């Protein structure tokens, strides 16, 4: 398993004095997730927890760690309302990457959202510091429905 020590050391440095691991380097811990059934396809559809909305996902780059130099992974999300319509508004799209097995996130590098066509968001700046199972937490407000979903990906080299 490859590990990017530069990122880990940076995260550990930020966390000096607050613990022995890099868990607390994430401003917001998404909590202990389960990541046992990764979605290995590069595109597909997902539904938020209480079916308030759905989203198509497509990996434009990745998901991979990319060896020593890392890779900026990118994903396109196309949101639909609970009844499959293109939403009038899409706001508050925040994606977090979390590695449940080791209880760490991506340190100071957080995924960034760029809004596209109606209902569409591109997620950039997704950096995986290790290979293995990562959970992606997608929060969004589709029309007025605020909800989140989590899914698991297997990050390769
Ligand atoms: Cu890890």
Q: Determine the pLDDT at residue 149.
A: 92
What separation in Å is there between the alpha carbon of 38 and the centre of ligand 1?
A: 15
Q: Determine the pLDDT at residue 35.
A: 84
What separation in Å is there between the alpha carbon of 84 and the centre of ligand 1?
A: 36
Q: Determine the pLDDT at residue 141.
A: 97
CA atoms within 13 A on the CB side of 52: 15
Q: Determine the pLDDT at residue 121.
A: 98
The two tokens of residue 154 are 């297997």
CA atoms within 13 A on the CB side of 28: 7
Per-residue pLDDT averaged across 57-61, rounded? 97
Residue-wise pLDDT tens digits, 83-134? 999 999 999 999 999 999 898 999 889 999 999 999 999 999 999 999 999 9
Residue 102, domain extent: 5-28+55-155
The two tokens of residue 83 are 């009844």
Q: Answer for the pair 28, 106: CB distance below 8 angstroms, yes or no.
A: no
What separation in Å is there between the alpha carbon of 117 and the centre of ligand 1?
A: 34
* pTM exceeds cut of 0.85: no
Q: Answer for the pair 34, 60: CB distance below 8 angstroms, yes or no.
A: no
Q: Answer for the pair 123, 75: CB distance below 8 angstroms, yes or no.
A: yes
Q: How many domains does the chain have?
A: 1
What separation in Å is there between the alpha carbon of 88 and the centre of ligand 1?
A: 38
Q: What is the CATH number of the domain that holds 90?
A: 2.60.40.10
Residue-wise pLDDT tens digits, 28-49? 456 666 788 899 999 999 998 7
Q: Answer for the pair 121, 95: CB distance below 8 angstroms, yes or no.
A: no
What separation in Å is there between the alpha carbon of 91 and the centre of ligand 1?
A: 30
Q: Determine the pLDDT at residue 26.
A: 44
Q: Give residue for tokens 């508050």.
A: 92
What separation in Å is there between the alpha carbon of 98 and the centre of ligand 1?
A: 9
Residue 73 within a domain: yes
Residue 13 within a domain: yes
What percentage of the chain has pLDDT greater than the value 70? 79
Which residues make Cβ contacts (< 8 Å) with residue 17, sequence separation at least 6? Answer: none
What separation in Å is there between the alpha carbon of 130 and the centre of ligand 1?
A: 6
């Amino acid at each position: 398993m490859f590990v990017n020590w530069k990122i880990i050391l940076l995260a550990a440095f930020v966390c000096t004095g607050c613990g022995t691991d890099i868990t607390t380097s994430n401003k917001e811990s998404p909590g202990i997730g389960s990541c046992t059934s990764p979605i290995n396809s590069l595109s597909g559809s997902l539904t938020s927890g209480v079916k308030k909305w759905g989203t198509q996902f497509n990996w434009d780059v990745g998901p991979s760690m990319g060896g020593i130099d890392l890779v900026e992974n990118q994903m396109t999300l196309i949101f639909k309302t609970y009844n499959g319509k293109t939403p009038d508004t899409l706001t508050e799209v925040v994606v977090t990457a979390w590695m449940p097995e080791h209880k760490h996130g991506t340190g100071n590098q957080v995924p960034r959202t760029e809004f596209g066509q109606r209902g569409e968001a591109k997620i950039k700046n997704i950096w995986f510091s290790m290979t293995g199972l990562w959970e992606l937490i997608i929060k969004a407000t589709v029309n007025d429905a605020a909800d989140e979903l989590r899914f698991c990906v297997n990050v390769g080299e």
